[in-house]
Chains A and B, each alone.
Chain A
């Protein structure tokens, strides 16, 4: 009898404690869906799944990772923009494809930059222009010289990469040929096999760089890469353009402020955990970089201007 009484008392006490925390903190009604704008098995997918798992462990919310592929995140963000703003969904996408479509096809999209409340960023993809180490040049100027007297096929897997090099073509008068591929791994294959004279890589090239099979011509981002501080950016090499893909999180615009703050805080906490840090570093070869809600929104708005310049020609 005594024992049951004790258990009852304990249960009552724990109920009081639980009720107390529920009042102080926002709790999602039901599951939180962390939607990944790409299919299973890429870097975005890996990051999304480890963040979802960590958030679930840290907050106790039932966070479920879901793949919503289509148009580099367009399909997923279309869905998020048109959901009730109740804090039960987080979208993980990459800035570049969203910005490219916002600039080129604004009338066909069912959202714009104001359709979202931004929550933070995971990291940026460090995009490099690389060549096989026996190529007769070491930088963009050398590549331009080479292209003036030879065929110069360049392997790329996303439109902005090609446009950045068209920008270089326009300014330098050299001529490149463009080989469209299905991803960074295929770019590496074409560069190593000698079919492409230069190629774009976002991390897949690091072991080849270490082995001395590949050299890096430029960082395509706004800043130099943490693993190659001596390789200048394309901007530093005299071409005022950059490609800066950032992995960012957003939810439906108009989400109540306490829900938004709870999601932002939960996300920030997950991004600071050792597991997420390690997985992001290992998959992207870039450190965690959380710009916070305001920083993320600013990054997207600045991005529209830069992408506008890319597509100006």
Chain B
């Protein structure tokens, strides 16, 4: 722990006018690219990195952190307004956010997303600033067996989102895992299911699948349903009572347990590299729904659904910095880009960082908190702007969103090939929706599949053919046991409900 003087000097650095400018500019850029479907904060950060080389390290890194944080808030905006998540992290936000917007309360829905996001983010930043060292040690102890147990638990919890048909849920998971198997096999390094396309060597590009299945299929459906009269994409009822366009303190406070649960889930998963904010958002959503008194109100515009997902996916961002700063291990692509920015300035994240660069690190902490404030302020203004934008005729909105999706996937996923993949998966999503198979479950299985497989293969290497060695990993066993209990509990409850109806 550095001296108080260094901490104060670092925090002071964050508040210089130049840094304030770069952090707020980052948040602005992040919210914008997050809100425009298709491009996303990762691409913006990758483009910005070479420019940070010429900047002061704190200003450069503060800018990137701003883009990353702004992107998480921005991604929720099209998810709520158009049901087309701007980033995969916001996919779960659409589940309740969009129904609420359709009820004529788009401002209320996006504001709840903004407040939840800032709440989750601030919580995990405080955890990062205060107890990152012990949490990093805990993350180190989570080896492959424990991570595999955690993945089983994640699948068990998310199976609660399956809906009434077990068979259709299993089909969705199986298809998602099948899609996740495309690419190089981690065990032997041989390509599989790639049909001679070297573009598929590293797996199906994630943005192409996420945007194809979540955004394109929805945009096409809405375009096909749109009428000539030029309906606005989102209707703002005239003379709307004030409480329908704002979130009251009472409503926010009523979500406190949901927000806290989301923030804790996001922080814990964020501290473990490789699981990611999309999974955190869905896990938080699923547990909130299962803990609620009226689970059937979810998916119909329940404000708790928005609070659960946005607090969790934003909390991942701060927590990702825990393994990054203490061990030099990035928890996500966004974190890996921030490491690149450190490295081009000759600063290697790792055990010495707090001693050698204490002032910079506390400056960074100050910048992170500032970025949260920036999110809140810029978001307040930005939300009104976006709600105004989408009240333009829907044929304009959907067509331009479609164009942005094409551009974004072209840039991030290997050009025309990525666009082909995106369209193929949009068609698959259309077929799945028609048959009543959940696209969301498919996406989660696809996201978690590679990590599940790698941790299974690592676990098998550790066991070296002797299953009794599992007894050396009590934490992993307990997690697997909780997964089993959760599955049985959820299956029973589903069964009981089916009986009642």
Give chain A's interface residues, CB within 8 Å of chain B: 39-43, 45-46, 49-50, 52-53, 67-72, 74-75, 78, 108, 151, 153, 158-159, 162, 177-182, 185-186, 188-190, 192-195, 204, 206-208, 210-211, 213, 275, 278-279, 281-283
Give chain B's interface residues, CB within 8 Å of chain A: 42-43, 45-46, 49-50, 53, 139-144, 184, 186-187, 189, 191, 196, 198-202, 205, 273-274, 323, 327-330, 333, 336-337, 340, 343-346, 348-353, 412, 414-415, 417, 450, 454, 457-458, 461-462, 464
Question: Residue B348 contacts which of A178, A207, A279 (CB distance < 8 angstroms)?
Answer: A207
A192 to B141, CA, bound (A): 9
Question: Residue B273 contacts which of A53, A72, A151, A185 (CB distance < 8 angstroms)?
Answer: A185
Asked whether, in the complex, the Cβ of B53 is within 8 Å of the Cβ of A68, the reply is no
Asked whether, in the complex, the Cβ of A153 is within 8 Å of the Cβ of B50, the reply is no
Asked whether, in the complex, the Cβ of B352 is within 8 Å of the Cβ of A179, the reply is no
Min Cβ gap A164→B in Å is 13
Asked whether, in the complex, the Cβ of B198 is within 8 Å of the Cβ of A185, the reply is no
Q: A75-B199, A193-B141 are in contact. List 12 more A-B contacts (CB 8 A).
A: A41-B46, A68-B414, A71-B202, A179-B462, A180-B458, A180-B461, A185-B328, A189-B140, A207-B328, A211-B350, A211-B351, A282-B346
A194 to B42, CA, bound (A): 32
Question: Residue B340 contacts which of A39, A45, A186 (CB distance < 8 angstroms)?
Answer: A45
Min Cβ gap A119→B in Å is 20
Which residues of B sit under 8 angstroms from A162, Cβ to Cβ?
189
Question: Residue A283 contacts which of B196, B340, B462 (CB distance < 8 angstroms)?
Answer: B340
Asked whether, in the complex, the Cβ of B352 is within 8 Å of the Cβ of A210, the reply is yes
Asked whether, in the complex, the Cβ of A74 is within 8 Å of the Cβ of B343, the reply is no
A45 to B53, CA, bound (A): 14
Q: A186-B273, A211-B350 are in contact. Are A40 and B43 (CB under 8 A)?
A: yes
Which residues of A sit under 8 angstroms from B414, Cβ to Cβ?
67-70, 75
Asked whether, in the complex, the Cβ of B328 is within 8 Å of the Cβ of A188, the reply is yes
Asked whether, in the complex, the Cβ of A189 is within 8 Å of the Cβ of B454, the reply is no
Which residues of B sit under 8 angstroms from A278, Cβ to Cβ?
344, 346
Whose C-beta in chain A lies nearest to the C-beta of B353? A207
A282 to B348, CA, bound (A): 8
A43 to B342, CA, bound (A): 12
A283 to B342, CA, bound (A): 9
Asked whether, in the complex, the Cβ of A74 is within 8 Å of the Cβ of B144, the reply is no
Whose C-beta in chain B lies nearest to the C-beta of A204? B328
Which residues of A sit under 8 angstroms from B200, Cβ to Cβ?
70
Question: Residue B143 contacts which of A40, A78, A190, A282 (CB distance < 8 angstroms)?
Answer: A190
Which residues of B sit under 8 angstroms from A41, Cβ to Cβ?
42, 45-46, 333, 336-337, 340
Which residue, A40, A50, A181, A279, has most C-beta atoms of chain B within 10 A? A40
Q: A70-B202, A207-B352 are in contact. Are A193 and B49 (CB under 8 A)?
A: no
Asked whether, in the complex, the Cβ of A188 is within 8 Å of the Cβ of B343, the reply is no
Asked whether, in the complex, the Cβ of A70 is within 8 Å of the Cβ of B464, the reply is no
Question: Residue B329 contacts which of A178, A189, A281 (CB distance < 8 angstroms)?
Answer: A189
A75 to B194, CA, bound (A): 12
Question: Residue B336 contacts which of A42, A190, A206 (CB distance < 8 angstroms)?
Answer: A42
Asked whether, in the complex, the Cβ of B144 is within 8 Å of the Cβ of A67, the reply is no
Chain A to chain B: the 10 pairs with minimum beta-carbon distance, closest first: A71-B201, A207-B350, A40-B46, A159-B189, A195-B143, A193-B140, A70-B199, A180-B186, A185-B329, A41-B336
A74 to B183, CA, bound (A): 13
Which residue, B143, B191, B340, B462, has most C-beta atoms of chain A within 10 A? B340
A69 to B199, CA, bound (A): 7
A158 to B143, CA, bound (A): 20
Which residues of B sit under 8 angstroms from A52, Cβ to Cβ?
50
